[in-house]
Amino acid sequence: MPEHLHLFVGFGTTMSMADFMEEVKAISSKFINEKGWVKGKFEWQRGYGVFSYSRSQIDNVIILLMR
């Protein structure tokens, strides 16, 4: 996918990943549409991928994402 986004976030245990992604997509879609940054209506694709890492690997993940 040439047009995609990576988020690297600390995540607690009080919210499900599905609820988190629903909120991220809703808030960001509304913001993008209100700003008029795209022609027509902006919508995220339906799916998403999630990967987890241990706290001890944060530096390695950042290095990997910066490549």
Q: Which domain holds residue 30?
A: 1-46
How far is Cα 47 from Cα 4, in angstroms, rounded to an integer? 12
- Alpha carbon distance 11, 16 (integer Å): 9
Q: Is residue 10 part of a domain?
A: yes
Distances (CA, A) of 44 to 11, 16, 35: 21, 19, 16
Cα(9)–Cα(33) distance, integer angstroms = 24
| pLDDT digits 0-9 by tens, 6-46 | 888 888 889 899 999 999 999 999 999 999 999 999 999 99
The answer to whether residue 27 sits within a structural domain is yes
Number of independent structural domains in the chain: 1
Q: Quote the pLDDT of residue 1.
A: 55
Please enumerate, as own/partner, the contacts of 13-22 that have beta carbons within 8 Å and a separation of 24 or more: 17/50, 21/48, 21/50
The answer to whether residue 65 sits within a structural domain is no
What is the reported pTM? 0.75
